Amino acid sequence: MTKKETVYIVSDSVGETAEVMVKAVASQFFEQEIEIKHFSYVEDKQDINNVITVSKYNHSIIAYTIVLQDLKQYIDHRAKDEGVIAVNLMYPLMDAFTQKFDMQPNHQPRQMRKLDEDYFKRVEAIEFAVKYDDGQEVRGLKQADIVLIGVSRTSKTPLSMYLANKQFKVANVPLIPEIPPPQELFTIPRKKCVGLVISPEKLNEIRRERLKGLGLTNSANYASLDRIFEELTCAEDIMKKIGCPIIDVSHKAIEETADHILAMFKKRGSFA
């Protein structure tokens, strides 16, 4: 059995970046996979001494992604003294960034992990918005960062998704005259609830376009002004009972409404 060549990956984080790069390069030389051994979360010189020793003993290469300068300098110095090849995978590109963008790196380890955490928080928030869209499950109201309420076609769903992309868990509840609002709306902190209203004329226009897109006639009660006035009056009565802030979205883009909500919550310390 042919002995596999070994590369030691040294990182002040997990080392996934280095592993991908090492495998990509190794594929240009070997038909079979090489053996990769990790030294993750390296924080002191003794860790580096250990990997230098085993790498020298096994006649192996070290590939590292260490951004702390004192450790980087130490591994370079020790590798040279011991005749071990140690390749810095990050600094050539970091140097290029410095030259091109006239900026200095912050030399903070585990920055990718922070980016990953942000990504997963955003995914979690999006999944939450989908699950608790349109009042599907009222139990989500207590778990939400923001609860949007309003009549149909006041941009509750697209606004929920936009805010979810900013990592906020958003639930939304439609207000319909014939259906009592869930009691949970009156038990959650009113500071995290936002009512969305719209002018009757604008809502009539939006609903007529919606009916047209569905191949239905404009004579449907859904788009009639009488029905719209009834819904808006009922919705505003509920919002006043809850005591939540109310935003008129008649002439606002989704981004503008979202910024308004976030500024309002930040001012009140609702996200503290």
Q: In this structure, what are the phi and psi dihedrals at residue 170, rounded to the nearest 5 degrees?
A: -125, 130
Pick from 6-15, 99-108, 251-260 the range whose average pLDDT is largest. Answer: 251-260
Q: Do residues 18 and 89 touch, judged by C-beta distance below 8 A?
A: yes
- Could you list the residues known to form a binding site for ADP, using ranges: 150-157
How many residues are recorded in the chain? 272
Structural domains in the chain, CATH included, are 6-109 (3.40.50), 112-268 (3.40.50)
Q: What is the mean pLDDT of the chain?
A: 90
First to last CA, the chain: 60
Higher pLDDT, 141 or 31: 141
- Could you list the residues known to form a binding site, using ranges: 150-157
The answer for residues whose C-beta is within 8 angstroms of residue 258's C-beta and 6 or more apart is 159, 162, 163, 166
Nearest to 150 by CA among 191, 187, 203, 189: 203
Supply the pLDDT for residue 72: 92
Nearest to 93 by CA among 187, 167, 7, 21: 21
Please report, as a single letter, which amino acid is at residue 228. I
Tell me the pLDDT band of 120, cut-offs 50, 70 and 90: confident
Secondary structure class of 139 (helix, strand, coil): coil
Q: Do residues 197 and 154 touch, judged by C-beta distance below 8 A?
A: yes
Over residues 39-57, the mean pLDDT reads 92
pLDDT, tens digit, 9 for 90 and up, residues 179-236 = 999 999 999 999 899 999 999 999 999 999 989 888 887 667 999 999 999 999 999 9
Tell me: pLDDT of 164 over 80: yes
With tokens 């963008």, the residue in question is: 101
Pick from 1-5, 77-81, 121-125, 212-216 the range whose average pLDDT is largest. Answer: 77-81
Q: Percentage of residues in the chain with pLDDT exceeding 90? A: 67
Tell me the pLDDT band of 166, cut-offs 50, 70 and 90: very high
Over residues 1-11, the mean pLDDT reads 82
Q: Percentage of residues in the chain with pLDDT exceeding 70? A: 93
